[in-house]
């Protein structure tokens, strides 16, 4: 049985890039190594996610989150238009079925 060799400072596809602490005013300094590796610049905006019970805080660059949201909305619009086309097709078939049968009275 092979075991996956993992960097002792790594987790999944990421890695530990330093430690920090929160000051009295609620500010957290992102370590230099993290800023350099992740290309984080002054003024950069983040979306903050958290899980109270697990004590986890996750920062995601707002730019990346916005790209994801744009992709998701674009994909959902495609699915919405596909669903509408299916609905329209089914509605057209249902409308045809609602027509009363034509009876030839000559017979």
Identify the pLDDT of residue 69: 78
Identify the pLDDT of residue 82: 77
Q: Phi/psi zone of residue 39: left (φ > 0), alpha (ψ -120 to 50 degrees), beta?
A: left
As a 3-state breakdown, the chain gives helix, strand, coil percent values, each rounded to 5, of 40, 15, 45
Tokens of 95: 């409308």
Instruction: Using alpha carbons, select from 31, 54, 52, 35 the residue that is nearest to residue 44.
Output: 35
Identify the pLDDT of residue 99: 56
pLDDT in tens, the chain (107 residues): 444 444 445 555 778 888 999 999 999 999 999 999 999 999 999 989 999 999 998 888 988 887 877 777 777 777 778 788 888 877 775 555 555 555 555 55
What Cα–Cα distance (Å) separates residue 1 from each residue in 4, 10, 12? 10, 22, 20
pTM of full prediction above 0.85? no
């Amino acid at each position: 049985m092979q075991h996956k060799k993992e960097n002792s400072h790594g987790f999944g596809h990421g890695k530990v890039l330093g430690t920090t602490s929160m000051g009295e005013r609620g500010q957290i300094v992102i370590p230099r190594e993290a800023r350099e590796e992740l290309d984080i610049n002054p003024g950069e905006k983040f979306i903050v996610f958290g899980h109270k019970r697990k004590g986890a805080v996750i920062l995601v660059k707002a730019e990346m989150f916005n790209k994801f949201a744009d992709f998701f909305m674009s994909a959902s619009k495609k699915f919405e238009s596909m669903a509408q086309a299916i609905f329209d097709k089914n509605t057209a078939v249902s409308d045809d079925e609602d027509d009363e049968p034509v009876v030839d009275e000559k017979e």
